[in-house]
A and B are shown apart, each in its own frame.
Chain A
């Protein structure tokens, strides 16, 4: 997918630039953009390391396990037919919590673990199980408490309050998750009357 997006952007730029008489500007952008990319990276890497360090301390205080416990009742309603003491259910709760706390480094391995365990416990063959689809939506909806990257780039551009977007991000994340879950239940032929769980 990305090879097409990347190549299309480059080729269209040159054709458009030539037709519009803006090829000098395109040339300048080609030479200067890599420097801008490094500048942006420098802004981001500081924050990434700061949060990475802080969240490792938080991990050591069992923050993830504690928060995962809070998520268990809701997860019980969402994921049907799973062994509540099993590896899959546990990995799902830990992955959701890691995403919520912005622990990207921890969330992905836990998510992959959850997918493998779901496959082992439900043996769905080559067709995704209902629980797998719900788990995927929990991840693609991106529910996070601290949008650190967005805030770092806002700061770079002189925002008066980089974190003022927090309440809007929380409400939007929650609604997009609810919509994704509702859609999954609605599109699932076997999920009778499951829509209400999705709203929660």
Chain B
């Protein structure tokens, strides 16, 4: 524990960690010093001057170093001026006064200054009701204005900073929180100040404007109504809305959300509400171990899919070749008959049940029960693999990225975290900035490289070998040998593993760079081995199922070999593409090769997955039941379609990539006739002659807790527990949560304290001896004919859960393919043209596809980067690809979508 110092704040004795700021120390004992520019997650700036206090320090005798005494007490020296408590660290014997007349007068002065140029348009301001400026004005400000109203500085009021965020320049109080958040926390300085003095205003020059995945967070921390989201502005008043706790469904991080809802007619985004409850906005809910106070823009805006007017609202049954609406009874009956066929109940051997990580633990568990009961097989719909290893080597309970710093190593393999899991990107970046050693191993440059101590570049297909090399010293020695210029000719395979960090430089001095790269690998391996704590993230950059499986295996062995398992802040974190893919693995569903699995089955029940959309060439079963939110490609082929409830309409639990089980709650009533997935499956089971629990998510969770060892002892109540320890300001007001939220100035009015559950991380099983053996490096398996097409992830894609968000749709952009300039030149495609050249991408066995070529050095030679869910279904790396130029048909339109 760090050194503690003793001080006095308003006559209260306080003990605080050395280096803590006065404002935080005061908060801990329930003294709220008002702030505007300070935010506990940002570096102090001392700009707004709201937090001025009187500070006295003991006078120290220079000769003895001891405090000078006066009347039995240490003599204090107060400075001639008030000081900012947000920038001043506590020190031994300090006396702080936050409630004197002098301090109160200073606050009033500062508020009055801020209000001189503020428009005072609270009645029409989105922040009204949760606005720190409003609250602090009431608490500390002057009663009347002495400023001549018509001398106010006027500024533009509705300035779009891109399509997601709007700025009201008159309301801005120049606190710089937004600018500091983007620069320091997000590492994305796409907004800044322009001009100076009273003319100072926020601007963006990025293309598109405010081009950051984290932009929405600035609307939460803006202490006035200057920054608002396009989603919520003019949407509702804070006091009209209720808040429901939820969990984001877009990636494996499991960010804690709060949905604000209100009863209204019509709803936004064309949602079909007829006077029902609709969601007005999604806000982060504080969970210091998961997302702190942040969420990414996908999590903030993409929930809109749940309110999409294209949602399925009634069951559909195929009649005369057409899908036609039917009652639940008819649909269930028809589905059960179709699935059973000639077999007796319990013997539907050829039934394949598929569920995805979009589903809750309760749904997946029910699906497995159904498949087992019916005699069929249950599969997890996933393009990734290796999830079964996590029960042994996953992140140990107590793991918290926020506690990683010096002495820790984080290895990120095969993941562009910024695209795959933005909040992990943000937290890994911060850990690196706190001193954790970051190793990034990827087939191409990613945004995380900037923060890495070691960047290791491999050729796609050789991911697992690189990971193995990090853990296996004899093999490393061999690598170094191989990379020495003299020996380079012989074991070429090994030398090839290690590429220069900067591909641009590669052409110049590939040979010269190899020893450096090999040395880097050796150093990285040593750092990893020696680290006190080590976390490994593995993602899906350029990987398919089997590739992911081998990477996961290699990572598991690396962790086991270096004894980085079973302790907090150690272990493997999978960057799954869906929120609850981990839950699927934990509950015994495995990713299957659908080509063979579907071949082997005659009937299928597919839930929350679109395999035919992702790969139209999959074999078709003779009878297909689909359970979905939308009429997907797969649903179109079904014999029966069940309309499911969205996650916003029901409760359930997810298990995150860090194996944290977290609950979410219903925010809105269900759409029309939709039912929760678990309930539909249970009923279908009953029609198949099975007895399945389906009354409530809680009841199923209780069953999970008795049957699945990892979940043993867990209850919904435990998942809903919170502790004060994680809240930034631990001092709690006994008033109700909503009140407290507004009173808590640290939140700046938006964002929610966590009152509905921090979740519980699953315990680990003991390590099997097989994993402790040194890794046998798997051979590289990818053939080298033609170009190698590899799937990569882009945060905003054309997926069903993104497209319905009108806001994000604008940011998706056109389909693209990443090409190396040399490969482009060989294919006769001109680099640097604007708009980008359109190319025809030809992949063996795949439909032809056109995309804009992104020609730059970031794509390795011989590789085509194919974004997932952008039109070309590619689930695994595929050799033999080629490209050829196409004349742009509508260059006008393409140009308008192209960044300048």
Do they bind each other?
no
Interface residues of B (CB under 8 A from A): none
Chain A: residues with CB nearer than 8 A to chain B? Answer: none
